[in-house]
Structure 1
Amino acid sequence: MILHKLLNENKLTLVVSLPSNNLSLAEAALEGGAQAVKVHANVWHRASGHTFGTYAENKNFLRDLIALCGKVPVGLVPGGEEAFVSNDERLELEAMGLDFFSAYAKHLPAYMMESKVLTKMPAIDCTYDQNTLDAVRLSKIDVLECSIQPGEAYGTPLNYADLLRYTDISAKAGKPTLIPTQKKIRSEEARHLYEAGCKAVMIGAVVMGKEPGAQEVKRACTAFRDVIESL
């Protein structure tokens, strides 16, 4: 559970959500200073517009990615509304060396939360309320992904109302919070996430582009990591 440890130890942690399952992009992210890497299977991804294949189709890629990343934790979105990895496949992922999983809580099978190996990072969406945060605090969640932006807000600038919501969640959830770049968060704005009490920022397609090359990925990672190191 390396990601959980990083979030507890670092002021702010840089997680990179790859826009496509591509080892060259993962290598670029690592060169740019990514402290964790996340990929997808079994889902359509709104921000990138990509459909990611099944777990079986991505199994060899995942093994290669985990080997490439070494001590850098690798995570997976293992499914969505239409499909999800089975419990046996979850156990296989644990044996493979996967470090964490992330998925919307409303899509997450209960058996995923039985893992004693993986960092558990369910995501709340724009329908969350204060009762949700009370339940999160009492839950087995390790990290809370705050995917609270409605679809129509994707790619728009970060505003102060967003920061107030992130502050409120971080103060009340009782778990380390991770902010995905559903909004077009600029690297210099990572400081505001830190000041809001957030423990990680996860950059993805909204920041890096839907079809970025390795240089674009490395450049975006470097910009965010530089700000994080200055905190």
Structure 2
Amino acid sequence: MADRFYAQLSSGEFPIAVSLARHDMALAQAARDAGADALKLHLNAYHRASGTTFGSFAQEEPFLREVASLGLPLLVMAGQETVPTLEEMDGLAQLGFEGFNLYFAHFQPHLLESKLRPMPAMADTSTKADLDRMNALPCAIIEASIMPFAAYGQPLDDADLAAYRAIVQQSTAPVIAPSQKRFVPDDLTRLRDVGVAGAIVGVVVTGDTPETLYEAVTPMANAARRFR
């Protein structure tokens, strides 16, 4: 299994994926123009940080097709209790999606039959046994979504970095950190120093307008380029 986003993670380039607060082409274009390496979209989910509800593959397909025209690597948060069918996962692959993400508790076996790379997410309640099961998934990327909701938007601190370091040391797969904390450009070096392979920046950092997204992501993307 080969894809551009995973190649960047594996080569030490520290890619920056932007998680869109809503399915809006102006947001997607702002992320591309700001230098994002990938885009993360959502299906079948209520996104707590943004307050947005995302629909099914059929409901969101027109936007998925439109955003695929931007040519960026695409990732999808596939759902919660409801997830795409195998046929819908194949449809995502045909559109150019490279990986699918969801909390490990919501994994269903048929998802691993798809062409998309699994990106299981740890929660703040995840255990070492959970991480071991995630590591056993073929060709996985681990999303360390480990911050309690009450901590969203706070600055990244040394305790957070120690938690990420512990996950990296226990993981056989690349580990990415989502911006539950309010990442700033200098945090990318701190994250990389503890072994994190890349970051996903979302509404906590980007806000929910094209202007705020562009202003936030541009310095993040510039900071990540120092590693290349």
- The verdict on a shared fold, with TM-score over 0.5 as the criterion, is yes
> In the alignment, does 2:164 pair up with 1:162?
no
> In the alignment, does 2:84 pair up with 1:85?
yes
Do 1:144 and 1:177's aligned partners in 2 also have CA atoms closer than 8 Å? yes
Q: Which moved more, 1:38-47 or 1:150-159?
A: 150-159
Give me the CA root mean square deviation: 1.4
Task: Give me the whole-angstrom Cα distance separating, in 1, the residues matched to 2:167 and 2:144.
Answer: 8
Task: Give me the whole-angstrom Cα distance separating, in 2, the residues matched to 1:34 and 1:60.
Answer: 22
Task: Give me the whole-angstrom Cα distance separating, in 2, the residues matched to 1:126 and 1:65.
Answer: 31
Task: Please tell me the residue identity of whatever aligns with 2:218.
Answer: T
- Count residues with an aligned counterpart: 225
> In the alignment, does 2:119 pair up with 1:113?
no
Task: Please tell me the residue identity of whatever aligns with 1:152.
Answer: A
SS at match of 1:20: coil
Flag structure 2 segments of 5+ consecutive residues without an equivalent.
none
SS at match of 1:80: coil
Task: Give me the whole-angstrom Cα distance separating, in 2, the residues matched to 1:138 and 1:54.
Answer: 28
> In the alignment, does 2:98 pair up with 1:96?
no
Do 1:87 and 1:112's aligned partners in 2 also have CA atoms closer than 8 Å? yes
Do 1:4 and 1:142's aligned partners in 2 also have CA atoms closer than 8 Å? no
Identical-pair percentage = 32
Task: Give me the whole-angstrom Cα distance separating, in 2, the residues matched to 1:138 and 1:107.
Answer: 16
SS at match of 1:102: strand
- Aligned twin of 1:75: 75
1:218 counterpart (209, 214, 219) = 214
Task: Please tell me the residue identity of whatever aligns with 1:161.
Answer: A
Displacement of 1:54 after TM fit?
2.1
Deviations 1:81-137 (A, max 9, x none): 3x221122112212222211111111121211222x212111010122222233333
Do 1:15 and 1:37's aligned partners in 2 also have CA atoms closer than 8 Å? yes
- Aligned twin of 2:138: 140
SS at match of 1:29: helix
Task: Give me the whole-angstrom Cα distance separating, in 2, the residues matched to 1:96 and 1:130.
Answer: 35
Do 1:170 and 1:197's aligned partners in 2 also have CA atoms closer than 8 Å? yes
Do 2:14 and 2:199's aligned partners in 1 also have CA atoms closer than 8 Å? yes
Task: Give me the whole-angstrom Cα distance separating, in 1, the residues matched to 2:126 and 2:139.
Answer: 15
- Aligned twin of 1:62: 64
Do 1:122 and 1:141's aligned partners in 2 also have CA atoms closer than 8 Å? no
- Aligned twin of 2:192: 194
Task: Give me the whole-angstrom Cα distance separating, in 1, the residues matched to 2:67 and 2:24.
Answer: 9
TM-score, structure 2 normalization = 0.94
- Aligned twin of 2:9: 7
Do 1:123 and 1:144's aligned partners in 2 also have CA atoms closer than 8 Å? yes
Do 2:104 and 2:134's aligned partners in 1 also have CA atoms closer than 8 Å? no
TM-score, structure 1 normalization = 0.92
Task: Give me the whole-angstrom Cα distance separating, in 1, the residues matched to 2:96 and 2:44.
Answer: 19
Task: Please tell me the residue identity of whatever aligns with 1:128.
Answer: S
